């Protein structure tokens, strides 16, 4: 059985800045409730293992750590030196919530779609395939539509994004996920760009006429039927972005100014394989510090490893925490002095 919420990542033709007209895929739900400001949570204590590299050796003694170290980034976050933080987040942030990533052999989403007998696993998210054969995706949505009781809860990685907002340093989160966990963790709608759409709207796959999302959900989840358009009779689908569809206009509207203003970029749990989102790290200023929290190096991040311990770097701005996303954000919060404090969210039964 595939889990309730899924991260759907799609590979598309690389796009140029401003020409964001191709597909990528899913993201989170804008209609979910925001958690009000709160104190730094206790869940951030007890960071796990992992290693990290920076673009030059970390200073020792009483000297100030260089800007390209994990320590200096944590210090800048706690002191407010960074005021326009961008976060690019992918499927890895949701793995500990029980949601599979996309490409891991054996456990990734692609490997779990074989029973749908598709020509290619990617076809289940292809707009042209859906128009001709919507049944596999309808069955898929019947199992995975977000919002069911007992669904996944925000992970420490998601809550870290909420903390950045509470600290007043978060400019924007660009999520490639559709699981809605950023919103549940307290990232407000103004600070969230759902790059790959979500389940909060619906439209006809043929004529693009808006459709009632409640009726779409009722057909797919309850009746296990293909919802049809009242205008043209074509198949209706939720508002996630398929192959062959444009990204939400909000992405193109905000990304240029965001990368220009960004004074710290944090990339969490993504392969950076899907443009145009994958190009965001390339678009920030060459002087902007960049932190990657991931199990492996991706994109144009440049670091070198010496044995099992991460060593010196080949650039002056990149920092790489090699390990699980949750362990990485706990480490950052420990260094920033943000751990060990009470956290009692107003909707505790929904997110704990």
d(CA 37, CA 22): 36
Q: How many residues does the chain have?
A: 352
Q: Give helix 325-336 / helix 156-166 axis angle, nearest 10°.
A: 40
CB 310 within 8 A of CB 322: yes
Q: Which of 276, 278, 318, 32 is nearest to 151 (CA)?
A: 32
Is the separation of the CB atoms in 216 and 172 below 8 Å? no
Active site residue 196: yes
Residue 140 backbone phi and psi in degrees, to 5: -60, -45
Question: In the beta sheet, which residues pair with residue 305?
Answer: 310
Distance (Å, rounded) from C-alpha 30 to C-alpha 4? 17
Q: Which residues pair with 320 in a beta bridge?
A: 53, 292
Query: Quick one: 147 exposed, middle or buried, by C-beta within 10 A (0-12, 13-18, 19+)?
Result: middle
From 10, 68, 158, 196, active-site residue: 196
Distance set, CA 255 to CA 128, 180, 248 (Å): 28, 20, 12
Query: Is 64 in contact with 213 (CB distance < 8 Å)?
Result: no
Q: Which residues are tagged catalytic?
A: 196
């Amino acid at each position: 059985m595939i889990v309730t919420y899924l991260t759907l990542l799609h590979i598309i033709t690389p796009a140029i800045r401003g020409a964001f007209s191709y597909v990528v895929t899913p993201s989170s739900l804008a209609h979910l409730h925001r958690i009000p400001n709160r104190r730094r949570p206790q869940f951030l204590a007890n960071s796990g293992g992992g290693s990290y590299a920076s673009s030059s050796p970390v200073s020792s003694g009483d000297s100030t750590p260089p800007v390209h170290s994990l320590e200096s980034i944590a210090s800048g976050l706690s002191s407010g030196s960074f005021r326009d933080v961008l976060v690019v987040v992918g499927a890895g942030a949701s793995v500990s919530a029980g949601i599979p990533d996309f490409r891991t052999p054996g456990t990734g989403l692609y490997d779990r779609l074989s029973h749908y007998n598709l020509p290619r696993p990617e076809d289940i998210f292809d707009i042209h395939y859906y128009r001709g054969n919507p049944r596999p995706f309808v069955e898929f949505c019947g199992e995975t539509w977000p919002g069911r009781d007992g669904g996944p809860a925000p992970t420490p990685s998601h809550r870290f994004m909420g903390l950045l907002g509470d600290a007043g340093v978060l400019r924007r989160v660009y999520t490639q996920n559709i699981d809605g966990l950023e919103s549940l963790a307290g990232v407000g709608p103004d600070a969230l760009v759902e790059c790959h759409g979500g389940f909060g709207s619906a439209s006809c796959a043929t004529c693009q006429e808006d459709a009632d999302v409640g009726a779409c959900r009722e057909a797919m989840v309850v009746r296990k039927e293909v919802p049809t358009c009242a205008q043209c009779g074509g198949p209706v689908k939720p508002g996630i972005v398929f192959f062959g569809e444009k990204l939400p206009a909000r992405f193109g509207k905000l990304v240029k100014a965001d990368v220009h203003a960004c004074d710290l970029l944090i990339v969490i749990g993504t392969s950076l394989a899907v443009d145009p989102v994958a190009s965001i790290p390339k678009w920030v200023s060459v002087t902007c510090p960049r932190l990657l929290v991931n199990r492996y190096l991706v994109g144009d991040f440049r670091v070198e490893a010496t044995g099992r311990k991460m060593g010196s770097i080949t650039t002056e701005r990149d920092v790489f925490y090699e390990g699980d996303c949750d362990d990485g954000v706990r480490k950052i919060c420990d260094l920033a002095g943000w751990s060990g404090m009470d956290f009692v969210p107003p909707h505790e039964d929904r997110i704990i």
